[in-house]
Chains A and B, each alone.
Chain A
Amino acid sequence: MSHSDATAAPAPAAVQGATRIKAVILLAMLGFLLLVPMFLYPIFLMKILCFALFAAGFNLLLGYTGLLSFGHAAFFGGGAYFTAHAVKVWGLSPELGILVGVIGAAGLGLIMGLIAIRRQGIYFAMITLALSQMFFFFCLQAAFTNGEDGIQSVPRGIFLGVLDLSNQINMYYFVLGVFLLGILAIWRIINSPFGMILKSIRENEARATSLGYTVARYKLAAFVMSAAIAGLAGSVKSLVFQFATLTDVAWQMSGEVILMTLLGGIGTLIGPVIGAGLVVTLQNYLATSPLPVTVITGVVFMVCVLLFRRGLVGEFYASRIGRRLGFKSDS
């Protein structure tokens, strides 16, 4: 899932072997995603996919551009609200509804980005937090969101007029399709010249400027793309669960996506996906146990920060097996 490192230049045969193994892993994962709804509960899987896409979009900013946003809930929840409203009140089809959500989230990203990228580090994080809180209070009071009741009973509709999404299995494959497209888009972005520039900004912003790149514009572009992907995840989630509520725009959600990304491993394409899967699974399975969910999630986070500082996938990439396979995290 990560590009092999050309500079390490192992023997050609080894490279070929590693590529083959990676291709097998990739196919196995795809096969797993296609078959898993037969064994696990589809809604639960769709939820994981939505959060995985959200975390992957967030990682585009944190892992590849080096910007820690503390306001991504605004895009995720905003996308959810826009889509829910478009589908329920305006009666749009799901694909158009999702488009409205993505454009809305990207627009929010543009506004927030324009203000936030002027500052770096902790100030950047604080500005994004403040702006997303402003959006939270907007959603709390705006008439179209119905305050704390949320937008409920959103119809899933019929995708492109053919696929009835009210069927759980149809919905799962629809969500899987959106998820794969989103991941593909991220993969394409980070492996393009544009992505290289983002990484160079992350490594040394001053040097990128001195090379003649308009750093602010690249950062803004990355911010908007990340916001759009987060919005896409939120839009799809509002269709999966058929509601959009304040939980998705609250600051805790911004924290949760950071948790997912760090647990999985920042700067890896697959890390946030694994992290999201882990957090959502914990939330779901601990819900029916007598243990307090928040405490357990906190302990898991602490253990990971202390023992696997690169995140689960990051540690695997750095392990002997990972390195032999030519995996490398981009951080």
Chain B
Amino acid sequence: MARLLTSVAILGATATAAMAQVSDDVVKIGILNDQSGVYADFGGTYSYQAALMAVEDFGGTVLDMPIEVVTADHQNKPDVASNIARQWYDTEQVDAIMELTTSSVALAVQALSAEADKITMTTGAATTELTGAQCTANGFHWAYDTHALAVGTGGALVEQGGDSWFFLTADYAFGYSLEEQTGAYVTANGGEVLGSVRHPLSSNDFSSFLLQAQASGAKVIGLANAGLDTQNAIKSAAEFGIVQGGQRLAALLFTLAEVHGLGAEAAQGLTLTESFYWNRTDESREFAQRFFERTQAMPNMVHAGTYSAVTQYLKAIQAAGTDATAAVSELLHTLPVDDVFSQGGTVGANGRLITDVYLLEVKAPADITTDWDYFNVLATIPGSEAFIDPAESGCALVAAN
């Protein structure tokens, strides 16, 4: 009898132990990004759909526990984002937050997640600070960063013959760093920077800047700006016939979603860098088609990156046998990343996903055969070249390892 009781007790104990492996009997992922502002197409609800897709493709459960995805619109306000993130962690048992468009939001949420001992996987923000000086043990940066964009557009384009550059730079830190990083890769690859002109943030009139760029005779005009500024500059450039005049336009932060918004007519000839293009392999086409059926849009690198981040997170939980932060974070650092977004990707000790990026060129409208088929892939840049070597990232955790 005593033996029976003991075995029942042991059985009960192991059962509770198995239950305790997943906190609160549910794995909860939060998708926090801008869903009504300027980045609504860049990430937005599409990223949420990508996350839902990842969960469905994973089977809807991990370790026999349901997976839930919650989402919120941070309206590009770091305080709203911070408030929601803390509330998710403290009262709604969210285990990890992903996407995090906008640098100030991503940095803030990554910092508070480190304090709360939770995982963040940023796909929507560009700053290399996330895996540099402000890196954290549980913070991961997935899809892209400014360094990869600079290497892709700056370095690879020179090899394609674009060896003299003129920059149109947004007059603030983000613009300077893009110009500086890209310029460095241009000169490192044997190109030269003929000059640059700085325009104020949120400028409407690019004509005088574009005329200077045109007059410089540079083969490539680099747009070291973002969002609406890039769109306005491209539109003005189309009106001036800059691409038809033989110069190339290179946008440093621009994705499929923005090209679609602008239309192939205005964007033709534009070169840009993304870490994902849907019409590249059979696998990516199949994924994109399913994504399109849900959202009526093809995925860009942020959407596909979010899909990959969610998938990898779930794989790590599966492999760890628990959703405890330390164990999952450990596996996220070591598991190879192989999915539709990244083939043979690795994660550095600073949390940076090292994956291939692609130099893309917008086709002429006549060459576009199917909807959303905007790009020619000009070059593939291996991840080890595109991203900062973790040892040189300035992340204190790398030195500690």
Contact = CB atoms under 8 A, between A and B. Distances in A.
Contacts of A284: 80, 83-84
A294 interface: yes
B87 A150 contact: no
B108 A241 contact: yes
A176 interface: no
Interface stretch (B70-78, B181-189, B342-350, B386-394): B70-78
A289 to B, nearest CB: 8
A153 B83 contact: no
Contacts of A43: 82-83, 86-87
A299 to B, nearest CB: 14
B91 interface: yes
Interface in A197-251: 237, 241-243, 245-247
A294 B76 CA distance: 12
Interface in B54-95: 70-80, 82-84, 86-87, 90-91
A148 B172 contact: yes
B48 to A, nearest CB: 10
Given A41-B91, A141-B171, A247 B36 contact: no
Contacts of B223: none
A287 B111 contact: no
A223 to B, nearest CB: 26
A141 B173 contact: yes
A244 to B, nearest CB: 9
Nearest to A256: B77
A241 B82 contact: yes
Nearest to B84: A287
A152 B201 contact: no
A47 B83 contact: yes
A287 B77 CA distance: 11
Interface string B162-203: 000000000111100000000000000000000000001100
Nearest to B200: A137
Interface string A172-196: 0000000000000000000000000
A153 B112 CA distance: 8
A140 B257 CA distance: 27
Nearest to B174: A148
A223 B129 CA distance: 39
A167 interface: no
B80 A141 contact: no
A149 interface: yes
B306 interface: no
A290 to B, nearest CB: 8
A157 B174 CA distance: 30
Interface string A112-137: 00000000000000000000000001
B173 A152 contact: no
B79 A47 contact: yes
A16 to B, nearest CB: 43
A150 B107 CA distance: 9
B107 A149 contact: yes
- Chain A interface size band reads 20 to 34
B127 interface: yes
B137 to A, nearest CB: 14
Nearest to B74: A287
A294 B174 contact: no
A283 interface: yes
Given A149-B127, A245-B104, A288-B70, A44 B83 contact: yes
B103 A287 contact: no
A230 B45 CA distance: 35
Contacts of B236: none
Interface string A290-301: 101111000000
B308 to A, nearest CB: 24
A245 B83 contact: no
Tell me which of B36, B102, B200 has the highest count of chain A C-beta atoms within 10 A of its own C-beta.
B36
B111 A293 contact: no
A137 B83 CA distance: 26
Contacts of A149: 103-104, 107, 127, 129, 173
A141 B169 CA distance: 13
A147 interface: yes
B134 interface: yes
A295 to B, nearest CB: 8
A146 interface: yes
Contact of B108 (A47, A150, A290): A150
B111 A153 contact: yes
Contacts of B82: 43, 241-243
B75 A294 contact: yes
Contacts of B111: 152-153, 242-243
Contact of A140 (B71, B134, B172): B172
A172 to B, nearest CB: 13
A237 B82 CA distance: 12
Given A242-B111, A247-B78, A288 B71 contact: yes
A294 B83 contact: no
A148 B36 contact: no
A41 B84 CA distance: 10
B120 to A, nearest CB: 13
Nearest to B48: A290
Contact of A294 (B36, B79, B84, B134): B36
A112 to B, nearest CB: 21
Q: Which of B45, B127, B173 has the most CB of A within 10 A?
A: B173
Contact of A241 (B37, B45, B78): B78
A170 to B, nearest CB: 16
Contacts of B84: 284, 287-288
A286 B87 CA distance: 14
Given A243-B111, A294-B36, 5 more contacts: A47-B83, A148-B172, A153-B111, A287-B72, A294-B75
Interface of A: 41, 43-44, 47, 137, 140-141, 146-150, 152-153, 237, 241-243, 245-247, 283-284, 286-288, 290, 292-295
Interface of B: 35-37, 45, 70-80, 82-84, 86-87, 90-91, 102-104, 107-108, 111-112, 127, 129, 134, 171-174, 200-201
12 contacts: A41-B83, A44-B83, A47-B79, A140-B172, A148-B102, A150-B78, A150-B108, A242-B82, A247-B77, A247-B79, A284-B84, A294-B36
